[in-house]
């Protein structure tokens, strides 16, 4: 099967959607030179500066202009460069884009995609490394996508561009060079439909974005010890696939949620609470979560590593749950 990188998959998805629909355009800082990570490389040559629009450094202005354009019928793709920078534009996203459809009784919609690269990446320190997906999952009116594979980055970005509601699209920076199977078709993905990344019968591990690969690495280690860990990649946090998680938990009786974001008030807490409320009679062990401690991420590689959720930590926690 042909392979493709995570970054190229996103670029192809955007280019195909721009060819399909003339109302799709992109706006953000550094787009004229291909984007800060190269996600838009070559697109300005094909689509011109009017549709690959280079913006001055003002995240609030970029987001506000895109919200207005979306309300007038365009389908903008907003590039925020780092999820940390998007905080300058949260009012336009949370108080305007997310609420317009409801507050105007459905007379207007805001079909826009907000691309927010997340996660720790090459000692980028406290202001360039955060994973803030739980913040957006908390806001009614927003869809939150967190693709973990190249094929999903392709399919989910297409789905995001075609969605009639605002989508916060969070790509992990460490995944840009990741190679994986190319998409089998040009069909858009489906929000709220999880992927079984690895099958197992002893333990359910739920994860998303780059942490899915950490969970799979741990599952490989556990398999060599005779422990079958099923890894579920949620793909999107809102909506999230409760049915897939609960069906797996029904079989295994053990649930471990793994994410890179801070554990305190992270989305893992929502999953754990939902499972406890609904599946408590099926549990063989207490539900566990693994996430970062509630501290800023350091520039020092050694200190940065201290807050990472590793495959070794996932495997250790899984063994403890099996022994319970």
Contacts 24+ apart (CB under 8 A), 266-272: 266/134, 266/291, 267/133, 267/134, 267/137, 267/237, 268/206, 270/134, 270/137, 271/206, 271/240, 271/245
Distance CA 249, CA 204 (A): 6
Model confidence over 158-204: pLDDT tens digits? 999 999 999 999 999 999 999 999 999 999 999 999 999 999 999 99
Confidence (pLDDT) at 1: 78
- Inter-residue contact 120 to 260 (CB < 8 Å): yes
Model confidence over 7-24: pLDDT tens digits? 999 999 999 999 999 999
Distance CA 97, CA 253 (A): 40
- Inter-residue contact 287 to 275 (CB < 8 Å): yes
Distance CA 152, CA 271 (A): 21
What is the percent of the chain where pLDDT is above 70?
Answer: 100
- Is there a common fold for 3-181 and 195-323? yes
Span 250-255, average pLDDT: 98
Confidence (pLDDT) at 122: 84
Kindly give, in sequence order, each residue whose CB lies less than 8 Å from that of residue 154, ignoring residues fewer than 6 positions away: 4, 9, 10, 12, 13, 183
CATH architecture, domain 195-323: 3-Layer(aba) Sandwich (3.40)
**Which pair of structure tokens corresponds to residue 112?**
């826009």
Distance CA 85, CA 54 (A): 16
Catalytic residue among 128, 172, 213, 259: 128
Distance CA 284, CA 321 (A): 9
Distance CA 118, CA 271 (A): 20
- Inter-residue contact 29 to 88 (CB < 8 Å): no
Pairing between strand 3-5 and 179-181?
antiparallel
Distance CA 205, CA 215 (A): 7
**Which pair of structure tokens corresponds to residue 322?**
């099996």
Provide the 3-class DSSP secondary structure of residue 271: helix
What CATH topology corresponds to 3-181? Rossmann fold (3.40.50)
**Which pair of structure tokens corresponds to residue 23?**
């109302």
Measured in whole angstroms, how far is the alpha carbon of residue 26 from the centre of its chain? 19
- Inter-residue contact 252 to 203 (CB < 8 Å): yes
Taking the domains of the chain in order of start, what are their residue ranges?
3-181, 195-323
Can you say whether the dihedral through the CA atoms of 222, 224, 225, 230 is positive or negative?
Answer: positive
Instruction: Please check the confidence at residue 276 and state whether its pLDDT lies above 90.
Output: yes
Model confidence over 137-159: pLDDT tens digits? 999 999 999 999 999 999 999 99
| Three state DSSP letters for 53-88 | EECCCCHHHHHHHHHHHHHCCCEEEEECCCCCHHHH
Confidence (pLDDT) at 324: 79
Residue 128 among the catalytic residues = yes
């Amino acid at each position: 099967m042909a392979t493709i990188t995570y970054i190229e998959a996103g670029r192809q998805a955007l280019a195909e959607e721009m060819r399909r629909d003339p109302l799709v355009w992109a706006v953000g800082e550094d787009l004229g030179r291909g984007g800060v990570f190269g996600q838009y490389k070559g697109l300005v040559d094909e689509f011109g500066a009017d549709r690959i629009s280079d913006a001055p450094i003002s995240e609030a202005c970029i987001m506000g202009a895109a919200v207005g354009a979306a309300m007038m019928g365009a389908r903008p793709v907003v590039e925020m460069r780092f999820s940390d920078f998007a905080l300058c534009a949260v009012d336009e996203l949370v108080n305007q884009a997310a609420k317009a459809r409801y507050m105007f009784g459905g007379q207007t919609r805001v079909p826009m995609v907000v691309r927010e690269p997340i996660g720790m990446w090459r000692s980028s320190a406290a202001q360039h490394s955060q994973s803030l997906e739980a913040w957006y999952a908390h806001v009614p009116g927003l869809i939150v996508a967190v693709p973990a594979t190249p094929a999903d980055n392709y399919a989910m970005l297409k789905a995001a561009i075609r969605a009639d509601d605002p989508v916060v699209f969070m790509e992990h920076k460490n995944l840009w060079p990741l190679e994986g199977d190319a998409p089998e078709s040009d069909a858009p993905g489906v929000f709220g439909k999880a992927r079984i990344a690895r099958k197992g019968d002893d333990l359910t591990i739920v994860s998303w974005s780059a942490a899915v690969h950490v969970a799979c690495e741990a599952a490989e280690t556990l398999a060599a010890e005779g422990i079958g860990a099923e890894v579920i990649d949620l793909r999107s946090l809102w909506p999230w696939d409760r049915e897939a998680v609960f069906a797996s938990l029904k079989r295994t009786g053990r649930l471990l949620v793994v994410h890179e974001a801070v554990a305190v008030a992270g989305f893992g807490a929502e999953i754990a609470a939902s499972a406890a409320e609904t599946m408590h009679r099926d549990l063989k062990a207490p539900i566990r979560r693994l996430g970062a401690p509630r501290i800023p991420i350091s520039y020092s590689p050694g200190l940065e590593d201290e807050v990472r959720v590793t495959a070794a930590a996932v495997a250790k926690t899984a063994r403890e749950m099996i022994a319970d």
